[in-house]
Amino acid sequence: MRPSPIFLALVALTAVGGVLAWLAGTSVRPMSYAGVFIFVIGGWLVSLCLHEFGHAATAWRFGDHDQEVRGYLTLDPRRYAHPGLSLLLPMVFIALGGIGLPGAAVYVRTWFMSPTRRTLVSLAGPAANLLLAVLLLTLTRLLFDPEHWVLWAGVAFLGFLQIMAVILNLLPIPGLDGYDAVEPHLSPETQRAVAPAKQYGVFILLFLLLAPAVGQWLYALTAWFFDFSGVPHLLASAGNSLTRFWSRWF
């Protein structure tokens, strides 16, 4: 199955942002802000598609050949649940708070799978984010050029967001991947009791993130994992500032 034209357009848009950031070199000017903003937001949307593709591809591998799953495998973001909650809201959170909020959703049939396979389907999405984080931060570590630090700041920040996405997705909150991974191993009674709360998972997470202590914990834990990459925090922080350029004045 071929990737959808919309997904390819998102990849192209991300590449355009990367080129603008590269051309900006070391200077902080409108091109720098535009390039990093486009690169990070475009890259984040691409990562959302790859996250959901991970779920769908694993479910397909384990026997869910439903027509809807086939559509998910095209990486078309329109296939992934509600566009407002699934795509727009995570973009807003990155823009306003630099938080890699989980987004999108696929509906796969796992009832006939073994508990282990159901867990693997749930973990496949965060695994895609983890692989992206490793790729982005490894490239930054190996290829960083101070003459083009603007671009690498954006790459480092996008890698930082991927780590944050892994952490948030793995929280054992009903409706998120972390809970879905353990749900098959819970008693049927517990599953039935928790099931009504799954539709509110994102809202529960949003409520928690409103607490300053939770936000501080999230950033600290993300930074702790980020340290393993060997990429300086300052570079990711610069990427955050360039992405959220208006925060310099507000």
- Give the Cα separation of 237 and 137 in Å (integer): 14
Q: What is the pLDDT of residues 12-28, one digit of tens each?
A: 999 999 999 999 999 88
Residue 209: what pLDDT? 85
Amino acid at 57: A
Calculate the dihedral angle through the C-alpha atoms of 231, 24, 238, 84, rounding to the nearest 10 degrees.
-100
Residue 228: what pLDDT? 96
What is the Rg, in whole angstroms, of the alpha carbon atoms belonging to the chain? 18
Residue 136: what pLDDT? 98
Residue 107: what pLDDT? 82
Catalytic residue among 52, 147, 183, 189: 52
Q: Which of 156, 162, 159 is nearest to 238 (CA)?
A: 156
More confident residue, 72 or 151: 151
Q: What is the pLDDT of residues 185-227, one digit of tens each?
A: 999 999 999 999 998 888 888 888 888 899 899 999 999 999 9
Confidence of residue 239 (pLDDT cuts 50, 70, 90): very high
Residue 147 near residue 26, CB atoms below 8 Å: yes
Residue 122: what pLDDT? 96
Q: What is the pLDDT of residues 152-180, one digit of tens each?
A: 999 999 999 999 999 999 999 998 999 99
Q: For 35-39, 102-106, 170-174, which range has the lowest pLDDT when averaged over its residues?
A: 102-106
Confidence of residue 113 (pLDDT cuts 50, 70, 90): very high
3-state DSSP of the chain:
CCCCHHHHHHHHHHHHHHHHHHHHCCCCCHHHHHHHHHHHHHHHHHHHHHHHHHHHHHHHHCCCCCHHHHHHCCCCHHHCCCHHHHHHHHHHHHHHHCCCCCCCCCCCCCCCCCHHHHHHHHHHHHHHHHHHHHHHHHHHHHHCCHHHHHHHHHHHHHHHHHHHHHHHHCCCCCCCHHHHHHHHHCCHHHHHHHHHHHHHHHHHHHHHHCCHHHHHHHHHHHHHHHHHHCCCHHHHHHHHHHHCHHHHCC
What does the buried/exposed string (b/e) look like for 61-80 if buried means 16 or more CB atoms within 10 Å of the residue's CB? ebebeeeebebbbbbebebb
52 is catalytic: yes
For 16-44, what is the mean pLDDT? Answer: 94
pLDDT > 60? residue 95: yes
Average pLDDT of the chain to the nearest whole number: 90
Torsion over CA: 222, 232, 37, 6 (sign): negative
Residue 89: what pLDDT? 72
